[in-house]
Each structure stands twice: as C-alpha cells, then as structure tokens.
Amino acid sequence: MARSDVFSLLLLLLLAAAAADAGTVKSFKEEKRNVGDQIWSLSLDASTSKSSDMAALHENLDVLHYSSDSVTIFVRKTRLSITKEFLEGRHLAYNVVEKDVALHLQSLQAAEDAVAISRAAESCKEGQCPRPYKQDYMTFEQMEWFLRDLESQYPDNVKLSTEGKSREGRNIYLVRVFQSSASAARSSGSVSSRGQPRPAVFIDGGIHAREWIAPATVLNMLMKQTENCAANTDCDYEYYFMPMMNPDGYEYTWTNDRFWRKNRSPPPLKNDCFGTDLNRNWNPQWGNIGSSSNTCKEIYRGTTPFSEPETTSAKNVMTRIANNPELDLLVYLSYHSFGQLVLYPWGYTSDLAPTKADLEKGGNVYNNALKGVHNVPYVVQQAAELYPASGASDDFAYSLPIKYVYTVELRNTRSFLLPRNEIALTFEENYAGYMALLKHATSQSN
Ligand SMILES: [Zn+2]
C-alpha cells in the first residue's frame, strides 16, 4: 500500500472513532459535569484580607477569584458541609452564586452555541479531521490530530516527538520548530554558521487542566511560528512547544469536572484523593510555602519532587535543551489562566531574584507589545507578590538557569470559562508579546 493510502486508511479509522464518540462524551446538550457543585462568594473585611489569612484561604479552599473585599470559591458537592464549617469557624459570611455548576455550564454553552460556530466533533463527519484552533477549544484527541497534521504539512520545519506518557498513558508531546536546512544554508552569516549557539525558547501550556485558554493559545502560537519559519521570516530561534502538559486532567475537564486543576494520579491510600498539582511538583524549593502535603488539596505537591510523569517529561526536555552546547536556552514561557498577569521569579519567596531588573524589563517588553494589540491591560509583577507558591515550573526554569522566565496568566480577570470568541484575541496579543520578548532577549545577549 502506498504511504498516502495508509495515511488515508488511518484517517478514516480516526474519523470513524471520532464520529462514534461525538454523540456521547463531547455533547454538551445534557451537561453531566459538576452536577451539584456550587460557586460561592465570601465577603472580606479589612481584618480578613491580610496575606496570612489569604494563604489559609488558598490552602483550604479552591479560590477562583479574589479582590480586596470578596473571594469567589468553587465548592464540590462532596465538600459543601466541610466548607460551610470552615467558613463559619472563621466567621466569614458567604452567599451561593451558582447553586448547580452543571446548569451554569449548560447555560453558558447554550449562549455560545447561539453564536453559531459548529462544534468541532460534529464537522469531523464531513471527512476532514477538524482543527478549529482559532475558533474553539479542542479536545485532547483533536490536539493530537492537529499536531500530526502540522508535522506532515511542514516536514522541513516541524518535528513532533513523544517525551513520555502521562499517568493514564496519554502522550506528552514536544514540537520542535526550526528553520529548514535549505533556508539555513541560504542565510549566510546566520548565528549557527558563526559557530555560536542558536537561541532557544521553551513554551508550555495546560499544566492546570481547567485553564483551557492556555493550551489553545500555545497551539495558535505554534501554528503561527511554524508559518513564519516556513516563510523564512522571524525564525532565528529553535522553538520548543509542549502545548499540553496535563492531558489526563484536561480530558477529565471535558468528561467529568470542568473545574479540575491537577493531574489524575490515583490516591496513595484509600481515603486520599486523586491528583497532584503539577505546578507544585518541581524543584528547587519543593515542599515549602504555598503547597500542601494533603492529597485532597488543590495545591497537593506530590510525594517527592518530580513524582509525576508529566513534570518529569518536561524537566527532562528542558534540561536536555539547556545542556545542548549548540543551543542557548534564553526564554521560558508557561501559559496559565486567568488574571492577565506577566509573572517572573521568584514564586516561592518575596525575596528578589538576583536578576530582577532584567526579568522586569523583559516582562515590560512583553506587556507593552501585548497592550499595543487590543489594549487589554495585563500587570507585570513578581510571582510571589500574587501569593507565594513553591515547587512551580518557573522557579525551576530560572534555576536551570534560563535568563527570561515568565508565567503568563491569560484572559480574563474573572473566570476559567473564557468564551471561545476570545481565543484568537488572546493569541494575537500574546504572540506580539512573545515576538517582542524574543527579539529583546537576543539583542541583550549579543
Ligand atoms: Zn495555572
């Protein structure tokens, strides 16, 4: 069988599987996720908004949003009474904002469907694998199609590899984007031809499962960077994308719980809970402030540093790139949501990082370019100023060392449930930030 026939056959099999699936898991008509879960709002007075109190709230509650006088929390059905007791013990008044998150999701979905973009799984029946990366959030399976299509469309500029498996056996993908060898040979006087290391950047998304806009933005960035390299413009780096670091958790947000944050590591003991927070599982400073040893907390750090296959895969790749003498790993970007923030190390302490001035400068370069696109305000600050958290990927990256390290909290400032018509807008502004930062980083290192 010719290679293209084999490919067509595989495609047909994939399509058949997707069509069979489309009516069950991916249908949102009857929302089965989060039945009975609630969203509450707490009012704070001046005495309870101290940072020590806020740290206790973060440890014990799933804080979705806070301002100086109120905090919005997500409360699972199984934790309604324990949360009520916790708040009453602290004399914190609350009111129920959403009585049933399933109904809330259903009404949001209905509003989105009224805007008439057909959902991706439906159009797959037409005979073409959908990759609606600009218009819609994609399932993990659709992301896999997208990545394979990208590599087959751009073989001279894209290399897809699997860098390990998640806890439940899903692939952890890495995509390398690079200048084609033909165009590299043509551009005499390029960095590599002078025998100097080529600059490199590592970008990840999806560490936290419910932050859907993060992998969506990274996939759009990956597409745009690939198009640039194929056109031989703005392709001076080696680009490494890990668009979905937590595929098990992400899949779970599509099937069971839209507000799931962690991975899906099974409980160590019978009465424990599922999941490790993949952004509390790194070294250095693993196990300190802003992380928990209790498996049932949202910020559970795992049993040891890098106890999780997902963080181990990312760590191995980043270390390999950093140790490659042909590369100079200059920039690390980790995409999260929400809050519209550009955060730089340290995250584990409010002490200043040794190169704080450079980090802040790079953050401002990113933010100024970003703001020029849609005039949406993001704030540049040290990560620990938000709230201290140890064991996060950015402190690891900074310790490698990588010079320009940022955790970007994407749109918006209220909710993880960002309408899909903001995917392209979020990408556009952040791509401008990314381009400006990459140019700044090389101009400073020459
Ligand atoms: Zn996050």
Residues 6+ apart with CB under 8 A from 74: 37, 38, 39, 62, 64, 101, 259
- Catalytic annotation, residues: 409
pLDDT digits (tens, 9 = 90+) for 249-263: 999 999 999 999 999
Query: How many angstroms does the Cα of residue 264 sit away from the middle of ligand 1?
Result: 16
Residues with CB under 5 A from ligand 1 (ion): 208, 336
**3 state SS of 415:** coil
Q: What is the mean pLDDT of residues 261-268?
A: 96
CATH topology of domain 131-256+304-445: Aminopeptidase (3.40.630)
pLDDT band at 131 (very low <50, low <70, confident <90, very high): confident
Q: Tell me which range, 28-37, 144-153, 203-212, is most confidently predicted by mean pLDDT.
A: 203-212
Confirm if 62 and 259 have CB atoms less than 8 A apart.
Answer: yes
- In this structure, the number of other CB atoms found within 10 A of the CB of residue 294 comes to 12
Query: How many angstroms does the Cα of residue 97 sit away from the middle of ligand 1?
Result: 23
Query: How many angstroms does the Cα of residue 212 sit away from the middle of ligand 1?
Result: 10
pLDDT digits (tens, 9 = 90+) for 116-127: 444 545 444 433
Give the C-alpha separation, 242 to 1, whole Å: 33
Angle at the Cα of 332 from the Cα atoms of 372 and 366, rounded to 5 degrees: 15
Query: How many angstroms does the Cα of residue 169 sit away from the middle of ligand 1?
Result: 22
pLDDT band at 21 (very low <50, low <70, confident <90, very high): very low
pLDDT digits (tens, 9 = 90+) for 178-211: 999 877 777 654 444 557 899 999 999 999 999 9
As separate numbers, helices (DSSP H) first and strands (DSSP E) second, the chain gives 14, 12
Short-list 278, 291, 53, CA closest to 166: 278
Q: What is the mean pLDDT of residues 283-298?
A: 95
Q: Share the mean pLDDT of the chain.
A: 88
- The half-sphere exposure of 18 on its side-chain side, counting CA atoms within 13 A, is 27
pLDDT digits (tens, 9 = 90+) for 103-113: 999 888 887 77
pLDDT score of 56: 80
